[in-house]
Structure 1
Amino acid sequence: MRLVLFICLLCILSNTFAQEYRLNGVVRNSQGHPLSSASIQILSVKKVMISGEEGKFSLQHPAGNVEIEISYTGFKRFRESFNLQKDTTVYFFLESKVEQLDEVVVSSDRLLQAEQFKTTRMSTVNLTEKDITSIPVFGGEADLLKIIQLLPGVSKGVQGSTDLFVRGGAADQNLVLLDGAPVYNTGHLFGFLSVFNSDILQGVEYISGAFPAQYGGRLSSILNVNTKSTMSSHTEGQGSIGLLASRLMIRQPIIKNKLDIWVAGRRTYVDQVVKAVGQDLPYYFYDINAKVIFKPTLRDRIEVSHYSGEDKLNYRRQPQDTSARRRNISSNFTIANSSQTLLWKRQIQPNIHSALSLYRTNFNYTIQTGFEESRLFVHSSIEDVGGKYSLHWDSVGQVSITAGVESAHHKVSPNIIDTSGSIAELLQSSSTQAQTSLESSAFIQADGTWDQNWSWSAGFRLSSAIVRDKFYSNPEPRVAIRYKLSETLALKGSYSRMAQYLHRVSSAAVAFPTDIWYPVTKDVVPQTSDQLTLALQKRIPGMNVFISLEGYYKNMNDLIGYREGANLFLNTEFEKQLIQGKGTAYGLEVLIKKESGKLTGWISYTLSRSERQYDEVNNGLWFLSRYDRRHNGSVVMNYEFAKRWSFSAVFEFISGSRFTPIVGRYAVPANTLGGIQLIPVYATMNSVKLADTHRLDLGIKLKSKPEKKFQSEWFVGIYNVYNRAMPYGIVIQQNADGSYRYEQPGLFGLLPFVSYGFKF
């Protein structure tokens, strides 16, 4: 009998000891703002987590003592123990490390390198508003894409362009998202400035490998840009006045902690300044951004975003001299971007979150030119309407799961050309038939741990595209693994497969806004890539330094190329000029990043090689890619040497791009009687490298006293300090003896800049 009672008592106690309760946590700063992506260590069960939406996290924990430690860059480490005897929600408030802390950027996608070290994430860099606005840039105008070009693995196309060439990929292989909507044209001023107003940025995530399954549609990288979405308790504003443009942003709470709205604008005014002194520069651009944030319930959050921007060039010449040599000329050139996004986030359960986004995005350009009775009209556009729905489960056992679906309808009008008058004899009116395609995908991603040393991530994405009577589908597996060698050293590896169903057709070696987007067809198949990455990551907590050494190998198939001698400019039958081939890219990347303290910034270096092969060109032999940049390095730093003063510097070095030289000529009969025509003979494709480029920029910033309600700052600096001409391209000139010489025109020598910023 005693034995029976003892066994019953043992069962009761065992059940008690095995009882688990749900712990829901919310991480906030001392002002009550949520801190997403905080690092959370549950020491009592040896589990590591990252806070998600609104700084929330959730897990099952055995009844009894809970020991938790929370860390977040710029804040004091938080540690607490308490007794858990029921399902509980706990709020954790972190204190800043310094009395006057710069604005902390809060975003669900923001995961700084120090926190990334504890996860399987790699090939990822996150930037804050301070990262973007604190370094010297062209014209004093802070520019996101110019910062991205300073990261490892990223090459610029030509000097001044906002195009990104990532790990041997092409410029169209990067998915750029603004609040979830794709951006097809990222540049203003013919690529010298990006379309992103730095005042509105909250979190920027750049991924070049180990892609999460929720991302797809491009081969080389993801740039996820999120605009400000935190609630404000009072009217706020900020802006700047620079040499190129001015910006202004106003945010206004309508209902405290319920309804918030902000509007931002940016415009160049060089045209107005030049006009005031009696000259004419008929070009300007503008951007308008707006966002409404609504929290109808504690569990729901709705965000409505809008963006529109245009570049306009309007040239008129109406001379008084009406002689044959001087006629009336008019030219209008317009480039337009716009997007609208609706995002609804809902907390279904403490550990289950959903997100539904709907978007529309449009990019188009129009050229109208008139000369005497001749007229030329050119138009091209692409419009997407799409949506995405995802569910995220925190801590299903030792695993977090994200799953969802997305779809986008693409409508592309590649080229519409209308001519009249004498120009019609040279270029006939024509149009490329509008193309539509439906691109869809389903995805699932799981992240978990085996023990305190091993963690893993596995995902699968099934993508497809329907165009006319053709159906394409691609399975895209993703996997990543992490092994903790020590508390400050980790080894990571990943494999990712990506597929791309849209291509950008370039009419020149330099990417202009007149390039057109084109979907897959029955003859143009999707591009695919397979990428392997291995990384060794080290963090030095006492110095707030993160070090990453990554090696990658990428194999690409069905890459878009062009037949030899192809002429794509104003060509409505350009598909006949397209070819598809293979590519490989491999390299080694180094990143040393310091994210907090008086001295912040990073050092990056990339050693890489990129090759292509097309059956139709170069005799079918492999050749180096045009943008094979063997060496690419940069140093970015910002030093706060006094309470109100800071000094910044950027140095970059990049190997020259490649081109194919003319090595000879041969004669063939010309159309004229007895005439001959000399046909150039080219060397091996891209066998000659242009000159290497390097540049140093310096800047100094003075801030107003921090206790003032109206904050202001002056930013003064020099772009290209030692006045080195930056090659923009190559020009082939023929000498009198018939030989050829090559010249590299340069852009932008030494350029001083000054800007005035304010915040209230």
Structure 2
Amino acid sequence: MGRTGYVMLCMLLPGWICAQTFQISGIVREERKDALPLAHIIVLPDSTTTVTDNRGKFLVNLVRGEHTFITSYTGFRTLTTRINITSDTTIQFQLQPSIDQLEEIVITSQRDRQQELFESTRMSTQVLNPEDVTSIPVLGGEADLIKVLQLMPGSVRGIEGSSDLFVRGGAADQNLVLLDDATIYNTSHLLGFVSVFNPDILESVESVNGGFPASQGGRLSSILDVRTKSEIADDTHVSGDIGLIASRLFVEQPIVDDKLGVWVAGRRTYIDKVMNVINEELPYFFYDLNTRALWRPSARDRVSFSYYQGNDDLDIFRDRNNDGVGFLTSFQSGNDNQTLQWDHSINDRWETHVSALRTTYDYSILNAFRDNRLRAFSDIEDVSAKAEAIYRGDIQRNIKIGTQWIRHEVSPSVVNSSGTFSEFLESTTSQGRVSNELAFYGQYEWSPADRWMLNAGLRTSMAIVDDQAYAFPEPRFAARYEIIDNEAIKFSYSRMAQYMHRISNSAVTSPTDIWYPVTDSIRPQSGHQFSLGWQRSLPKQDIIMSLEAYYKPMRNLIGLEEGTNLFFNSNFQNSLVQGRGRAYGLEVMVRKNAGKFTGWISYTLAWSRRQFDELNGGEWFASRYDRRHNGAVVAQYAITHRLSVSGVWEYISGSKFTPIIGQYQVVAPSTTGVDLVPVFAPINSVKLTDAHRLDLGIKWRSQPGRKFQYEWFAGVYNAYNRTNPVAITIETDESDGSLRYEQPGLVGLLPFISYGFKF
């Protein structure tokens, strides 16, 4: 090496060493370990700035040496931290609440998440945090995510107290429910009255009813994306809740500081145990078990394994002669999900997410007497994988590309019979019907001009069953135009395809419903959705207002021929019919996200219609839950930092049903008597009584800052004791033999109380 080269090397090498950069990743939390999205971080001396994402995470590249991090968030004390950077590092900043703003910080992160949605092209989307779920009075006092979503615009419930969800005129099977990316096929316990989501495990919830991004698909009406806690605890934490219906326990434990941790959560109802104490019998219980292992092998990588198991169990034994020989009726159903996820940060712009998943759902019904047995069961198993890459430019430019594969294996309505049962119902066999779904997607969000934001994407999906293949291009587009500061107009278009169908006799979701894939004769459901909306943000008042109109035509919807009974029916495929649908409506939402007073007002004006050539003479008819008016007022007020009150008032139009308008006599083929044959009115031509209800709650917390925290939550469900219909029954007038309909209710005024703790 010449003298000149040696001198240049000596000059450049120290500069290169000093300029070497490292990736610094981390999370900003508050003292209760909840993540703080959109927290501001300034790094000195070079004044690098960044903002945490919606999970409170951030990523910056810094040169070797000492740096000062200044972290700030509304309602919290600013934190200044000095760190000497010598390698890729993972850090955690924990902010303390400002003393004079203790009452206002509970929903602060929710405000920022709503503001983030407002500033993007996203519409028809609601985000919730755990506080939203646990602060609202519900049936039995058991915090329920689905019941909170029922109070949002565009979403309505089925019957009183149920955890059904019908979104923008769609059916219950048109909602894709994800728990850490794994599909949940049965979302409820207790015959539909409690959802499967343990509120203790929730980190974030996002419900999308329209304007779907290209990365989401598989259902026509909505995507419910539920994420569980994803951060490694810095110490052992235990929390729990004791209620009237069930009790919960949550434990998180670090194993290696900032590297490896685990949490476990369990919930079980004890109705069966309580009834035994008072010498009564109700042989039913349900339970949920959730756990997640979290591993951070490096500053750039996050690996986790999630597991969920939930079961319902009912066993009724009737021994009328007390001789030990009786009639057994047994019912079991259960979800079982596993998710393995790997998140990798390539640099401060690119990141990848890879998931491998397995989902199973099954149910079994058994009737047995001596050697006579009749059992029906159905199950579905999914094995899937998903990979995507995300480019995060500045606020004006983001790219997402990915692919997804799902293998379904379905064994629908299998019957095993023996003894006398086999004389009238033969056993069936099933090797399982296998189908494969594959999807590729890409989307690009950018700002082409001042005040404009666009998002264009394409999802191409396909399904292969036996020798039949279906493919659908699913274009997605969304636009936002800012009229003036804090006021915008949004538009979105989505095409969706659905390759899995739920077959049901009942008007509400039942654990015995059958999931069935497309076949050579059953085509995929598909639909278009157009949405136009106006949004207004009032930052000083922490209020966001929205007005949206939507129109959704649908094709190849699933129905059953009149008179079909699915119970112990293994040939239901021959009774399936497909038709058209359309839904349209107007939604209004006013939401206050922070401060002592929080809550929202929602209203939906909606229509939902169906048409099948084989039903109703081929004429259009209203869908079962074509509820014209749906409104809700949800309010929470923090009187002090220890005492708060909450209330929910809900009004919904009655659902539809098909009445019997007459009957005629025919000669019975096997006897000398006659049979009465009912005559029905047009399908869903009569409306049930409208329903409305007021729920009230009061919560008392322990003094903040203590190691052991507790809270009492008490209230009443249906405070003014109104009877809201849950069914239709036909009664015969004994005087003249005429028929009349009655609308029995579920419950009247029902108090509740629960005790929660954490340490």
Match in the other structure for 1:461: 459
SS at match of 1:632: strand
Q: 1:70 to 1:521 in 2, by over 3 A?
A: farther
Q: CA deviation at 1:332?
A: 1.5
1:25/1:551 Cα in 2 relative to 1: closer, same or farther (>3 Å)? farther
State the 1:36 CA deviation: 6.8
Post-superposition offset of 1:70: 10
Aligned 8 A contact 1:698 1:721 in 2:
yes
1:759 aligns with 2:758: yes
The answer to whether the 8 A contact 2:103-2:638 is kept is no
SS at match of 1:746: coil
Which range moved further: 635-644 or 292-301?
Answer: 635-644
CA distance in 2, matches of 1:256, 1:106: 28
Q: Cα 1:95–1:551, aligned 2, differ >3 Å: closer, same or farther?
A: farther
Give SS of 2:297's match: coil
Which range is displaced more, 581-590 or 370-379? Answer: 370-379
**How many angstroms apart in 2 are the aligned matches of 1:74 and 1:453?**
30
| 1:29 CA drift (Å) | 5.0
Q: Which residue of 2 aligns with 1:16?
A: none
Q: Against the structure 1 CA distance between its residues 397 and 180, is the aligned structure 2 distance closer, same or farther, given a 3 Å change threshold?
A: closer
2:742 alignment partner in structure 1: 743
Change (3 A) 1:117 1:475: same
- Partner of 2:306 in structure 1? 305
- Structure-2 separation of matches of 1:50 and 1:585: 38
Local SS of the residue matching 1:450:
coil
- 1:216 partner amino acid: G
In structure 2, the residue matched to 1:577 is 575
Supply the distance in 2 between the matched residues of 1:490 and 1:715 (Cα, whole angstroms).
39
Give me the whole-angstrom Cα distance separating, in 1, the residues matched to 2:242 and 2:631.
Answer: 31
Counterpart in the other structure of 1:646:
644
Spell out the pairing of 1:478-517 with structure 2 (5 A cutoff).
478-517=476-515
Asked whether the 8 Å contact 1:598–1:641 carries over to 2, the reply is: yes
Does the 8 A contact of 1:27 with 1:51 survive in 2?
no
Q: Secondary structure at the match of 2:388?
A: strand
Amino acid at match of 1:153: G
Q: Which moved more, 1:598-607 or 1:169-178?
A: 598-607
1:382 to 1:633, Cα distance in 2 relative to 1, 3 A: same
Indicate the residue corresponding to 1:38 in structure 2.
Answer: 38
> Is the Cα contact below 8 Å between 1:432 and 1:573 reproduced in 2?
no
1:199 aligned to 2:207?
A: no
Instruction: Name the CA distance, whole Å, in 1 between partners of 2:238 and 2:435.
Output: 42
CA deviation map 1:407-429 (0-9, x unaligned): 11001010111122233333222
- Residues 22, 435 of structure 1: alpha-carbon distance in 2 compared, 3 angstrom cutoff: same
Partner of 2:584: 586
Cα displacement (A) at 1:714:
0.6
What do residues 621-675 of structure 1 show as CA deviations (whole Å, max 9, x unaligned)?
1111111000001111111112210001111111110011122223333204654
Change (3 A) 1:249 1:720: same
Q: 1:293 to 1:41 in 2, by over 3 A?
A: closer
Alpha-carbon distance change, 607 to 531 in structure 1, aligned in 2, over 3 angstroms? same
Task: State the TM-score, normalizing by the size of structure 2.
Answer: 0.89
2:388 aligned residue: 390
Per the TM alignment, residue 691 of structure 1 is displaced from its structure 2 partner at its CA by 0.5
Whichever residue aligns with residue 430 of structure 1, its letter is T
1:428-447 equivalent positions in 2, closer than 5 A:
428-431=426-429, 434-447=432-445
Q: Are 2:152 and 1:151 aligned?
A: yes
Aligned-pair CA distance for 1:304: 0.6
The alpha-carbon distance between structure 1 residues 195 and 30, as it changes in their structure 2 partners (threshold 3 A), is closer
Give the letter aligned to residue 292 of structure 1.
A
**Alpha-carbon distance in structure 2 between the residues aligned to 1:731 and 1:398:** 58
| 2:128 aligned residue | 127
Aligned equivalent of 1:28? 28
Quick one: which of 684, 687, 710 aligns to 1:686? 684
Specify the code of the residue in structure 1 equivalent to 2:667. P
Structure-2 residue corresponding to 1:9? none
Distance 1:310 1:94, change over 3 A: closer
Work out the CA distance in 1 between the residues paired with 2:124 and 2:538. Answer: 19
User: Aligned letter for 2:638?
Assistant: E
Q: In structure 1, give the amino acid aligned to 2:117.
A: Q
Q: Aligned to 1:656, what secondary structure does the other structure show?
A: coil
Report if the CA contact (8 A) 1:502-1:518 is conserved.
yes
CA shift in 2, pair 1:327/1:91, >3 Å: closer
The answer for the alignment partner of 1:712 in structure 2 is 710
CA distance in 2 between counterparts of 1:621 and 1:638 reads: 46
Give the Cα separation in 1 of the matches to 2:195 and 2:143.
Answer: 9
Structure 2 match to 1:546: 544
1:346-357 matched pairs, under 5 angstroms: 346-357=344-355
User: Using the alignment, how far apart are the partners of 1:167 and 1:741 within structure 2?
Assistant: 32
CA contact (8 A) 2:104 2:595 kept: no
- 697 and 90 in structure 1: CA distance in 2 versus 1, 3 angstrom threshold: closer
CA contact (8 A) 2:29 2:94 kept: yes
Whole-angstrom CA distance in 1 between matches of 2:503 and 2:509: 9
CA-based RMSD of the aligned residues comes to 3.1
Map 1:91-490 onto structure 2 (within 5 A): 100=102, 112-320=113-321, 328-395=326-393, 398-431=396-429, 434-490=432-488
User: Are 1:629 and 2:627 counterparts?
Assistant: yes
Deviation string for 1:535-582 (max 9, x for gaps)? 100111111111111110001000001112222222111111110010
Does residue 620 (structure 1) correspond to residue 621 (structure 2)? The answer is: no
TM-score normalised by length of structure 1: 0.89
C-alpha distance in 2 between matches for 1:436 and 1:110: 45
Aligned partner of residue 430 in structure 1, secondary structure:
coil
CA shift, 1:50, in A, is: 7.6
SS at match of 2:346: strand
Which residue is 1:55 aligned to? 57
- 1:32–1:93: 8 Å Cα contact kept in structure 2? no
1:121 aligned partner, one-letter code: R
Verify the 8 A CA contact 2:97 2:105 in the aligned structure 1. no
| Structure 1 residue 315, shift from structure 2 partner | 1.4
Contact 1:29 1:95 in 2 (8 A): no
Residue 519 of structure 1 is matched in structure 2 by 517
Query: Closer, same or farther in 2 for the Cα pair 1:320/1:571, shift >3 Å?
Result: closer
Distance in 1 (alpha carbons) for counterparts of 2:122 and 2:428: 49
Q: Which residue of 2 aligns with 1:85?
A: none
Q: Secondary structure of the equivalent of 1:400?
A: strand
Match of 2:5 in 1: none
Deviations 1:264-323 (A, max 9, x none): 11011121121122221111111110001100000000011010011111112234456x
1:10 alignment partner in structure 2? none
Aligned partner letter, 1:135: I
Query: Alignment identity in percent?
Result: 49
> Equivalences for 1:528-539 in 2 at 5 Å?
528-539=526-537
Matching residue's letter, 2:310: G
Aligned AA (2:38) = A
Task: Compute the displacement of 1:726 (Å).
Answer: 2.4
Indicate conservation of the 8 Å contact 1:26/1:56, yes or no: yes
Q: Which runs of 5+ in 1 are unaligned?
A: 1-20, 60-68, 79-88
**SS of the residue 1:725 aligns to:** coil
CA contact (8 A) 2:28 2:39 kept: no
**Is the 1:445–1:460 Cα contact (8 Å) retained in structure 2?**
yes
Structure 1 residue 74, shift from structure 2 partner: 5.4
Greater alpha carbon shift after TM alignment, 394-403 vs 603-612: 394-403
Question: What aligned pairs does 1:641-680 form with structure 2 within 5 A after superposition?
Answer: 641-672=639-670, 675-680=673-678
Q: How far is 1:51 from its partner?
A: 3.1
